[in-house]
Amino acid sequence: MCGIVVTHDVSDQQVEGAPPSAHAAEPGGVGGGDDGEATRMLERISHRGPDGSGSRRVGPTWLGHRRLAIIDVEGGTQPLIDERGNVLVGNGEIYNHAALRAELGPDRFATSSDNETALRAVVAWGPQAIDRLRGMFAFAVAAEDGTLLAARDPLGIKPLYWAREEGRTIFASELRAFPEEVRPLIEAFPPGHWWTRSDGLHPFADLSARGRPFETRDEARDAIRDVVIRAVEDRMMADVEVGVLLSGGLDSSIVAAVAARDAARRGMRLQSFAVGVEGSPDLEAARVVAEALDLDHHERIYTAEEAYNVLDDAVRVIEHFDPALVRSAVPNHLVAELAARHVKVVLTGEGADELFAGYDYLRDVQPEDLEAELLRSVRGLHNLNLQRADRTSMAHGLEARVPFLDLDVIAVAARVPVTWKLPGEHGQEKRLLREAFAEWLPDDILWRRKAQFGDGSGAADALGAAISARLDDADADEQAARHEGLPTPRSAEEAVYQRMFARHLGGIRADKVLGMSPHT
């Protein structure tokens, strides 16, 4: 897990691929020969890679990298360079790198880094190799002939933004990296796409693909259990210890149960981390799970005052102002801070609700519309829940992995007939998922009703006073709406968060980079 910055300036070249000439960037600009501003961009995201940094210029392209050492701790320093001078900087993990490495020929590799596999695959097989990568990633590969390829994983688990103007393209892992003068140009690089200047954007993943529907509930339960177990075990891949963020809800508890079994096979005891206000449901449930699974459990109890104090920082960190996202970001921020004192990698339960219809609002969706709504919500995760999960963890130099968003898990979930996902007016949501892990968790956890993290941890109540204290401006909505690029607030609470967002990231066009949850 890392942070990357890439600047690519061919403004004085006729054709991409021609031998690069000497570049002179405009004063104060980014790209060309202005490595100083690119270096400053990289420093703004130093929290994503506290273990080191590196950079390299390849003709018109400057590539910078901040490193959090997870795999090949000693030898995986980036940028990664092959014998032909091709250079990669990447953020994320390629979980099937061992299989691809064997196919490519292990003797040609200089490191055991999974990101080197991405470099070798793209050089050997071209952009079509990207569809064979399984994991979470955002990377760029520059060549000596002046060409550049950028790519982002199918779900956008790893962040990537870009700003484009004539002849010049800038990439970075976070919005805060970009200089202020570039902010109006920033867009989210689309998940599941690769790009070159000559070929433009190309999709390489189809999340709407559907396989044969399951014929029986038993078949579906077995497939769900098997694929989730494989996904969790794949994400235990690391040369450092892996922990789990444990809310005490169904999804994180399932992940913890599988990870605990895998850790035990390695002779280790899984570490778990939970936060909440005193007496909160999440804290109590997490303790039950930790005891049942014999976890090495850590928790942090926070107060309303602490929630108040971290609110502005949470908005700055997640680079968002959606109220539902901010409320859950406060406990996420605090639990990541706790976990980072003990481990470098954690597993989370993100994604299960989108795959198995876990949200309350889905009870009102008509059966014929549910499949499309679930697909829409999965596609929209990259600039909502996944953005929160990435930013709150990486703010503390912590990598968060999301087993439920493995492509194979998504494919299995898509085969479940939509009528089997419907909870009914009073039924239990995610019933098939619960039944699939019936022997793995205590019944009171297995059948616990869904609670949003901000609610279950007590953050929503704790933030009530904090929000009220900031609603002393009668023109809050109008003032927030005047910030360039921000939409009219949907509530006074959102107006508060918008003002915080604008103070830290003024000038960014929200419609180009952010998603908005259906309920505030």
Q: Which of 5, 231, 63 is nearest to 135 (CA)?
A: 231
Query: Tens digit of pLDDT for each residue in 421-469?
Result: 987 655 688 999 999 999 999 999 999 876 655 455 556 666 665 566 6
Predicted pLDDT at 378: 96
Looking up tokens 């002779």 gives 267
Catalytic residue numbers read 2
Q: Band of the pLDDT at 69, cuts 50, 70, 90?
A: confident
Query: Is 415 in contact with 220 (CB distance < 8 Å)?
Result: yes
Picking from 10-19, 70-79, 229-238, 400-409, which range would have the lowest pLDDT averaged per residue?
10-19
Structure tokens that stand for 228 in this block: 């989730």
What is the DSSP code (8-state) at residue 231? H
Structure tokens that stand for 242 in this block: 């892996």
First to last CA, the chain: 31
Query: Tens digit of pLDDT for each residue in 125-154?
Result: 999 999 999 999 999 999 999 999 999 999
The DSSP string of 300-325 is: EE--HHHHHHHHHHHHHHHT---HHH
Where b means 16+ CB within 10 Å and e means fewer, 263-300 reads beeeeeebbbbbbbbeebbbbebbbbbbebbebebbbb
Pair type for strands 161-165 and 242-245: unpaired
Query: Tens digit of pLDDT for each residue in 1-30?
Result: 699 999 999 887 644 444 443 333 343 456
Which helix (H) or strand (E) segment holds residue 58: the answer is strand 52-58
| Positive/negative CA dihedral, 332, 1, 124, 109 | negative
Query: Tens digit of pLDDT for each residue in 466-515?
Result: 566 665 553 444 454 455 678 889 888 898 899 999 999 999 999 999 99
Q: How far is CA 440 from CA 68, 289, 490, 502, in A?
A: 33, 10, 42, 46
Predicted pLDDT at 47: 96
Query: Tens digit of pLDDT for each residue in 355-388?
Result: 999 988 888 888 889 999 999 999 999 999 999 9
Rounded Cα–Cα distance for residues 421 and 368 (Å): 12
Rounded Cα–Cα distance for residues 432 and 458 (Å): 28
Predicted pLDDT at 325: 93
How many residues are given for the chain? 520
Q: Which of 331, 128, 349 is nearest to 231 (CA)?
A: 349
Rounded Cα–Cα distance for residues 341 and 397 (Å): 10
Check residue 319 and give left, alpha or beta (phi > 0: left; psi -120 to 50: alpha).
left
Predicted pLDDT at 18: 44
Predicted pLDDT at 361: 87
Indicate if the pLDDT at residue 32 is higher than 60: no
Give the amino acid at 35.
D
Q: Which of 196, 114, 174 is nearest to 320 (CA)?
A: 174
Pair type for strands 135-142 and 161-165: unpaired
| Percent of the chain surpassing pLDDT 70 | 88
Predicted pLDDT at 24: 36
Give the amino acid at 393.
S
Which helix (H) or strand (E) segment holds residue 4: the answer is strand 2-9
Q: Band of the pLDDT at 97, cuts 50, 70, 90?
A: very high
Residues 6+ apart with CB under 8 A from 102: none
